[in-house]
Structures are given as C-alpha cells and as structure tokens.
Chain A
C-alpha cells in the first residue's frame, strides 16, 4: 500500500478574508488551521471552532508574523474555562441543554490536567461525564509552547539543532537527524556512507529508548510499577553509552549539517551490544509480566479503538497508525539511509485498541534491535563529514594555522551555512511517527521559516474520537499508549 502526499499551496491576499476551511475534507485540519490562525492570524471560513491553540486566550497578535517582536511576552492571568467548547461538543454528540442540566441526567465536567500525573506533561483533557463514562471530550494544548519556530528564525541552521533536541526529548537524537536530513536534502548533500549507517544505528537505538519510556510510563498508569523498573533501568543504563558518545544524557545535539558531531568512540560495538542485550532482557522480563496478564488484557483489549479511516483522517502516523492496521512506515515507503538494505518487519495491529498500540511498540523494539545489529555489521569505515567547505567547518589545525581556514570557520560560524532560496518539505520516521520539517529559505544562513510537522500534534487532535464512550480510567491509559510528548506537541 502506498500513500501519496499531495502538497498544495495557496496564497492569502487578505488574512481577514482568509481561505475556505479544509475541515470538511480532513479532520486533521481542525487543529492545523487553528494553529495557522493562532500563529499568523489567517482566517479559515467554515472552520467550526477557529480559536487559538498554542498561545493562551488572552494573547494579542500573531507571533509568527515577521512584525511581531520575538521577546514580546504576554502574561496570562487565568486559564480559559473552555465551558463553551465542551457544551458545543456535547451538542455535537446529541446531548441538549436539558439533559446537561436536568437533575437526573446531570453531566459532570472533569478536568484531567494540565497538572495531572496521567498527562505525562501538560495537556488539559476536559471531559463531560455520565458516571464514569465520557460523553464528550475536548482538549487543550499549548502549555509547553516554547516558540521553536520563531526562535529558529533568529539562529543559523546549525544553531537550530539544540532546539530540535527538545522537541521529542525522549528520543532527542532522532530529531537531530530528521532536522539535518531536511536541510541536507535542499542543499543537495548526500552524507557519507559511514554517517548514514551511524544515523541508522542511532535512530533505531533512540527509537528503542522512546518506546521504553512510553511503555514503562503506560504500565505505571495501569498500576504495573514493576515494569517501570525493568524497562527504565535499561534506559538508565544506556545513558552510559549515550553520554560517552555525545557528552550528554538526554539532549545530545549530535548531528551537524553534512555529518555528525564526531565518530563513534573506540570499542563502541561491544558497548552497544551489551546495552541492547540488557534491553532485550529487560523487555522480555516485562513481557513475561504482561503477555498473559488478565488485568492488562481486560484493561487494554477492545478499549479506545481507533478505526483505520479515522486514524487516516486525523493524520495519524507511526505506531499509532500502524496499530490501526495501516502499514505506513517511511522507512519502507520512502526509504532513506539505506533502509531498503535491512531485513525488518513493520508490525501492524489488527484492532487499533490500546493493546495493539502497546504491543506494536514492544515488537518495534525487537525490530529496531535487529536493524542495529545488521547495521553494525555493515557500517563502513571512512569520513563522517562530506568534503564541502561551504557546509562543514574546517579541521582545527587549518583554522589555527592558515588564513583561509580561519576565514572559512569565521564565515560558517557567523553567517551560517547558506541554503539556496526556496521552500521544501522533508520527513523522517521518528519514534512517534512522521516528523517533518517544512522550510522556507531566503538564501541566507538563517531559516526564513521552519514549520515542524510533529507526529504528536495530529495524534492528540484525534484523542476525543477514542475516549468518547470509554471510561475515565481508559482515557488515562489511552493517553499513555499514544506517547504524547509535550515538547513536540506544542513546540
């Protein structure tokens, strides 16, 4: 099955007049258009609920417009009640005002979050309850909106890499790779073979890390604390390898445009092998606890089902989409970095419930480990940087000993890598799904615009479809199974 992506571009003559809304065609447009409205002030006619999404409701102006000063912070004095939105959603679900206020059928409103252990970050899940059953649900995000896109415009292309660490901070290195891959695509650079294999090994290793945290936290939500120790201890142990390699535990900033920060250290193969064996052991121990566990089955099987068509309509990608039975994986469908050479399976779910989402992550851990082992056998020797002085910093002995090297270094640091003018999109199969960067360059060393397409944003946009009709407790573990990471959700 192949899915083709059509990119369309529309120009807006007057933001107040705006554009027709696409919400009638794609459900994912609900949140996407709200984001454009919030950040740029472009109106979408026919959007049922066009209001701010990332910035708070008292915010004035539209921050991603070039005339908005980046440091112009605006204080939010109180949180939006969202009463109007939840009532509107109840009406959509067929509950009229009489049912809502009648003493016999009175509906209770309950907030999960923004500060709640189950939200694993800051998301606000507002539910309308009949007993413990969720009748309607609306969600508010943006609590961790840190202005990635506006900040990136003030930095050179290489300086943006540390910001990408903090998108999905459970798998920071994957974001680094996805970002430089996007920039290199437009520069027309093919990185060296060794770097390509390094990037494969490290992305798969971080995919494993990401899934470990997701499953560990999800099982804690379900009450299985032992799993947390089994899974998280292995993640903790792999920090030894990661910090030896990158110098940091969590925020690695390990890639550069045209290569990697540095090569693997001596003896990395043995270390990595020890780590992945430990992970296999930890994951197998955890699987022993849950595979035949009646409580886990009862709580997850057939709960919060997401049908295939709904998942596609909301723009789901990654493990959550595959759990619903759509075999879409960019590593197979649009292979990069020699992914076509590796022998691996893309696990697919049959039901699309919480169980599938958890089990797919378990299986992906084993598949990723298999890719790592294959790549470790295949990785060639050679340079890690491309030979291109317009992109890559000269070696230090040239910088200190000759004027050309010094000038080259100076220009690259101060002006950044000059990227040809134009706009382009590039995507990458990150741990949570398709992580894309849509960039606009004016030919200078700093991006004119960078738009991140985070997998979580669209996944969270369809959350209500899964939990309406389910119980409050199901919503908690469903959120865990989606692995919503605030950093990339809100950017």
Chain B
C-alpha cells in the first residue's frame, strides 16, 4: 500500500474550512471545541487523533451538520463544506456533500437487504428510479459486495457489515466522508481491507476523508495529514510521520505505533535514521544499513 502514495491524486482546493470554531453543549460548563481552525483540501485523507473526550466527535458533528442542527448549544465561528455554510444549510443538502460512518455499522444498516439499505439514502433524496438502480449497482461493484445484495444485515460478517454501511454512504456520492473508528471492531486483516478500500476511494474517486482512529498504525500509511486535538483545541497538524516523530504527540495521549516510538527514542539517543520509517520492515532496512 505504501508504494501507491506517489501516484495518489494530490490534494487540491479547500473543501472544508473550519474557522475559529467553538462549541459548548448546554449542560456542560466548558466548551467541547475551543477556537479550532482547520482547512481540509480536496482529495486529502486527514487522520484525527487525541485522547477520548478531547472533542474529536464534537468536531465531526460540526462538520456534518449534526451540530448545530440536531444538537443545540453555544456556537461560535463557522464551518464551510463545499462552499456551503453548515449552520445555514439544511441537513438534507449537507448529506449530499458529507457522509458519516459510525463506529458500529449495526447502528447504521437496518433495511431487509444490503441493496435496499444502500438505496435508502437515495430514496430520501428523491433520486429517479433508473439512476438509483445504476448508482446502487455501481457502488456494490466498487465495494465488492454485489454477491451480498439480497442478504439481510444479520447474515453478514462484521467486515461485510462495515462495507455495506460504507456503501450506503458512498452511494450518496459525497465529496467528504467522515469515519469514526471504522476498524475498531474488525479483525486485523479485515481492518487492513477497509483501509485499502478507503485508499482506493480516495485515489479513484477523489473522495476526501476525515478519519478518527486510535489504532494509528493502520491508517498512517494512507493518511496525508495527522491532526491532534487535546482538551477541545487543535494542538498539532502536519505530515503524519513528522507529527509522530515529534515527542509532544505522546504527551497528548496519541497512541504512537511502536515503530514510530522507537524512532523517536533512538533519535534522543543520537541514533539518526535516514527518514522516519512507515513500516517495521522499512525501519529494519534502515537499521541494517547503518
């Protein structure tokens, strides 16, 4: 997967812009998000990390419009996605621009068959029947779940459920997809397959992703950027390898993959490797070359 980085479509114009955003829930004394500014460009895969309770989920809700449309509270600053001001745009319009996939696909897929589940969002948007058919078929082909079209959600494995839920989001053809811990319930191989799928959707369709994930080692190879939040604020933002190699990240409770941790530790000891390694194999090669 790592050698595809060079041919990946480079990030383009600004797609989502968060401008000095603060948000406080009504029953909480402190803001959950404090003065966060962030630009996400078209075609980027942005990884969002930080300790639990740091405001990641609140920020995601602000981007897809659940805040302020569903959760009221004290809202300052603004969020723009695809030129639309989130706070002033109806959820139905936003849904065509931003798709959100929850942590547990069981909370997302509910129809009698995979096919109907994928069609559900399109029906709500009153997409004509012909186009709906072709979009559903195309999405199933893309995600490799055509054979599962008639299966009921409870007949699917966890990995298949995650694919079906993702298909429902993809069929809406959003420019931006937000994933909240998409692999946490999956076995390591299935998790890698979902990561490969994200990479494919990013590369082939140019879909932009914002992903929250605690197991960073899985997503690092496909991410363009790593943003770290702590206590409601954005505290780090940069190329994943650089953020990980910066000693501060660990202090913020970010789960640093063992190889990145070792790289930082060795640097402190005065052992400099040619570059920050992405995989253990790369690190072994660098060490062998010293």
Bound pair (A, B): no
Write the residues of chain A forming the contact surface with B, with a CB cutoff of 8 angstroms. Answer: none
Write the residues of chain B forming the contact surface with A, with a CB cutoff of 8 angstroms. Answer: none
